[in-house]
Amino acid sequence: MKRRSFLTTATLASAGLSTLLLSSCSDGAKNAITDNDGSDFEIDFELDEETISSLQKKIENGTYSSEKLVTLYLNRIEAIDKNSAKLNSVIEVNPEALEIAKAMDVEMKNGKKRGVLHGIPVLIKDNIDTADKMQTTAGALALGGNIAKKDAFIVSKLREAGAVIIGKTNLSEWANFRSTQSSSGWSSRGGQTKNPYFLDRNPCGSSAGSGTAVSANLCVVAIGTETDGSIVCPSSVNGIVGIKPTVGLVSRSGIIPISATQDTAGPMARTVEDAAILLSAITGIDPLDTITRESKGKIEKDYTQFLDVNALKGKRIGIEKKPQGTNSAINSLLDAAIAILRKQGATVVEIDYIDKINATGQSEFEVLQYEFKDGVNKYLASANGKVKNLKDVIAFNKTNEKEAMPFFKQETLESSEEKGALSDKKYTEALSISNTQNKFFLKSVFESNKLDAICGITMGPSCSIDTVYGDKWGSYSLTSPAAVTGFPHITVPCGQVYDLPVGLSFFSTPYQEGKLIGLGFAFEQATKKRVKPSFKKSFLA
C-alpha cells in the first residue's frame, strides 16, 4: 500500500496533475458564489480576512463585543456553509456559544482579560472532546450521541485563554482511516466538505472542515489534527497556514486517536501570526498524555516572538534535488519560491532524502493499524456512545450500510481489527523502520548538511471530489517525512496554479517550531500569496 493511501486515499495517479485543464477563472480576490445559472453574486462579510489581533483591538475599543463577533460568524456559517455554497465544513454549532461570548464580555468589562484569544471565536475538529452539548463523533454515525464527560486537554487550554468555541468541523470520517477509497472531507454524519475555491474540488483530509472554514472566513482560526498530512494538506489546498507541531508539544488526551506515535493537534489560520498565537494557547504538559513530558523546558510561552521578516537571512534550507513531478506550472511555482528564499538571504542546499522516507510507507501503515486498534478501543471503552470498541463500530456500519457506507466501505477498520497487541513482533519491527530508523536518517540529513529546515511544495493543487473512485492526488506531497518522525512542519500559501492554492512547506527537527514560524512568516511577508476563495461552482465552468 502506498504511503499516502490512508490519508489522501487513492493510489497516486502518475498523470493526474499533468492532465489538469486550464480554466478561465475570475479574480480570486473577488468574494463571490456561483449561482445555479452560472452567474456570480457578491457575498459581503464585514469580518473578511480579520485576524486575532485586529479583532482583539476592535473588542478593546468597543467596535465589537465577543457576542457580536460570535453572532456574525454563526450567521456566516448559516449563510455560506449551510445554504448558498453548501460547504459542509461545520458539522455542528455550539448552542452555548453566545452565552459563553456574553460571559467573556462581562469579564472584559470587569477588567479581566485572559489574553489575546479572549472572546475570539474558534472552530475545532469533530474528533476532539468537549464536555458540553456538542457531540464528538469523528464524523461517524456509529459514534452518534457521544457527549464527552470531560474536555480534551487542548479544549481546556482554549477555554482558559478565553476563546469561544463556536462549533465543530467536519472531517474525513475516522480522520481518513476507514477506507483506501475514501473521498477526503466526507463523513457519514457530515456529508462532503467542499473546497471554497471551486466547489467541485476536494478540501483534502482529514482536517478538511477546519481548512475550508478558515479559508472561507467562517471563523478566525481553527484546530485540526494530523497523523500524516491532515493539517498541512487541507491548509495547503485551501490557501491557509497550518502548523503540525512536534509530537509531544501538544496533548492528545481527549482526541479520538489513530496513532500514539504520530498523532498531534495543531493550529490552522489565515496568517502565520494567528497560527503562532493559537499554538501558544494549546501547548502544555498533560499528565494524561505522557509524551508531553518530553516537551518540558522546550515549550515557548509566546511563539509570536519568532515573527521576524528577516528570519530567512543566513539560514540553510534543504530542497530535494529530484523533481517530485512533471507539472511545469507547479515546478515553476517551486522555482519562484526558491528564488524568494535566496533573495531573502537563505542558502539553498540540494539534498537527496525523500525516496528513502517514502520507501517505508508500508511499515508506517502497519504501525498505524496496530496503534489505531489499541487507541480507539481504549477511547471507546470509556466514551458515552453506543459502540464500545472497534468491533462494534464495524458491526454498526454493516447493519447500517446504506447510511454509513453509501460509497466506500471500511476495509481499513477491518484490517486494523485483525491486528494483535502492541507487543507483536510485526508491530515492533514496523515501528523501528517507520519511526526510529527514519528519525535517525532524517536527523543525519539535517546534521550532515547543516540545515535549519527542509522545504518543498506541500501538496499539489486540489483534485476533484469523487465519492465513487476516491481521491486522485498527484505525486507532489511533502507530508510524510515530518509525520513519521514526529518532527514539526509548517505550510504557508505559496501561490496558485489553475487558480487553485498550493502551499510551501518548511519542516525541521523536534521542538523547532519557533524557527519554522520565523521562516514561514518571512516567506509570507515577502510574498503575500494568500488569496480569498471565490466559491466558483465548477473548476471547468
Residues labelled as active-site residues: 125, 206, 230
Bridge partners of 504, per DSSP, are 457, 492
For residue 41, give Cα distances in angstroms to 25, 142, 216, 534: 15, 39, 16, 10
Pairing of β 264-269 and β 241-244: antiparallel
| Torsions phi, psi for 202 (to 5 deg) | -80, 135
CB–CB of 77/196 below 8 Å?
no
Burial label, 13 (beta-carbon count in 10 A; 0-12, 13-18, 19+)? middle
CB–CB of 487/226 below 8 Å?
no
**Cell reading at 93:** 454549532
Bridge partners of 244, per DSSP, are 489
Q: How far apart are CA 450 and CA 448, in angstroms?
A: 6
- Name residue, grid cell 512547506: 505
For residue 45, give Cα distances in angstroms to 15, 136, 163, 438: 39, 30, 21, 46
Phi-psi region of 36 (alpha: psi -120 to 50; beta: other; left: phi over 0): alpha
- Which helix (H) or strand (E) segment is 232 a member of? helix 232-237
Q: What is the dihedral of CA 37, 42, 48, 49, to 10 degrees?
A: 70
- Name residue, grid cell 481521491: 471
